[in-house]
Amino acid sequence: MEGRSPSIDPAVAPVSPPLWLPILAGLPITLCMVVMALPDLGRAHSAAYRALYLAAYVVWSLPLTLLQRRLWQRRVSWWKTATLLLVVTYLLSLINNAIALSMAVGWGQVPAYRLRMIFSGLDGCWLALIAFCAIHAVVAYYTELRYAHERTERAISNARDAELRALRYQLHPHFLFNTLNAISALVASQRNREANRMIARLGDFLRATLESSAAHEVALADELALTQAYLDVEKARLGERLQVRLHLGPELMGALVPYLLLQPLVENAIRHGIAPRTEPGSLDIQAFRDGGRLCLRVANEGCRSAESEKPANADHSLAIGLRNVRERLENLYPGNHRFASEAREDGHYTVMIDIPFREAEASAAPLDVVR
């Protein structure tokens, strides 16, 4: 009989299976009734009685289906549902026996119509109707369980999507705070030309980020173009002190990578490695394919004296970018990625990322990136 699973939230409207599904699932019962009737086919009028019970079963299956759907939708408890269905199927079986008894009287098989006779021989029809109700209960429970599972998956997917968006949006105020501080420092030191150029590059970068799609993954070519816009901002501030080297092949331009993956890594490399240097410093961005994996590497030169010169909040600023990247990788590729960093005594710092290699549906053409 139908019951209500305690795992199903009663606040959520129940989902009933299509009307035809339980009726179709109950068809094997008709086959069983036909097989059980085969030994009696040679007896007088036996086929007529079996045909009556079979037709009655088919006819009663529709109102029983509607009744069970109503009980399921109203969240009636399982024991009330079971009791009501037992009573209803018993009454329907009495109706079947009453019709069969009338046929027997008409054919002269019994001398007279006696009411108490309809209460005997109920097993065949009553058990078939009970079996149909049980099948309907299983179908309804499975349907509800499947929809509950789909709702749970959608909720998890929406939560994951919201978390990824929150992590993406976290990068913008962090980046803007750092960039505006740099512009302020240029203005304070009367370097107005560099400040104006940096503001213009900042506008280009913000326009590129605002016009980007809401997808969490983009082609590597698009990610490099966005990174180029950010590097233009830093170039306006550092000039020839920032030297960028790229090591990647055109066959990788269509590989999917997390959106804004490189920018926080490049920002950390410049601000905490290259900017404190008095001499030019190099930033290396490398991408290569290793079987079914895409490997990314961002390395920068540093200096031993940077520890004493960096601001007090530099460690916190560095942690925000790396933690953000690490959390987004965990959300996008749970258990299927590698994120590692290595700091050397000479100030060199390297970040290595390993993710599944997948290509975008329409691979972007290689873009002219900063070299």
3-state secondary structure at position 215: coil
Q: Where are the alpha helices (DSSP H) in 283-313?
A: 306-309
User: Which amino acid makes up residue 201?
Assistant: R
Tell the burial category of 58 from Cβ atoms under 10 Å away from its Cβ (0-12, 13-18, 19+). Answer: middle
Residues in a beta bridge with 286: 247, 297
pTM of the predicted model, to two decimals? 0.54
Closest to 52 measured CA to CA, from 64, 67, 40, 63? 40
Contacts 24+ apart (CB under 8 A), 11-14: 12/148, 12/151, 14/72, 14/73, 14/75, 14/144
Domain boundaries, the chain: 20-153, 191-356
Kind plus residue range of the DSSP H or E element containing 356: strand 349-356
Sign, CA dihedral 160-166-172-177, equals negative
Please write the tens of the pLDDT for every residue from 186-243.
Answer: 788 888 887 888 788 778 777 766 666 567 888 999 888 888 888 888 887 788 888 9
Residues in a beta bridge with 247: 286
Q: Under a CB-based contact definition with an 8 Å cutoff, are residues 354 and 293 in contact?
A: yes
Displacement of CA 262 from its chain's centroid (Å): 25
Does residue 253 surpass a pLDDT of 60? yes
User: Which amino acid makes up residue 263?
Assistant: Q
Predicted pLDDT of residue 172:
60
The predicted model gives 85-95 an average pLDDT of: 87
The secondary structure of residue 337, as a DSSP letter, is -
Residues 6+ apart with CB under 8 A from 302: 272, 273, 274, 276, 277, 281, 346, 347, 348, 349
Measure the CA–CA gap between 64 and 71, rounded to whole angstroms: 11
Predicted pLDDT of residue 187:
85
Angle value at C-alpha 261, between 283 and 221, nearest 5 degrees: 80
**Helical pair 220-238 and 192-210, crossing angle rounded to 10 deg:** 160
Closest to 355 measured CA to CA, from 225, 255, 212, 247? 255
Q: Where are the alpha helices (DSSP H) in 74-191?
A: 78-106, 123-188
Measure the CA–CA gap between 276 and 250, rounded to whole angstroms: 33
Measure the CA–CA gap between 120 and 279, rounded to whole angstroms: 104
CATH number of 191-356: 3.30.565.10
Predicted pLDDT of residue 100:
80
Closest to 76 measured CA to CA, from 64, 67, 65, 87? 67
Radius of gyration of the chain (CA): 37
Closest to 233 measured CA to CA, from 199, 192, 193? 199
Residues in a beta bridge with 146: none
Predicted pLDDT of residue 368:
42
**Cα-based distances in Å from 148 to 9, 15, 140:** 9, 9, 12
Please write the tens of the pLDDT for every residue from 139-196.
Answer: 888 888 888 777 777 766 666 666 556 555 555 666 677 778 778 887 888 888 878 8
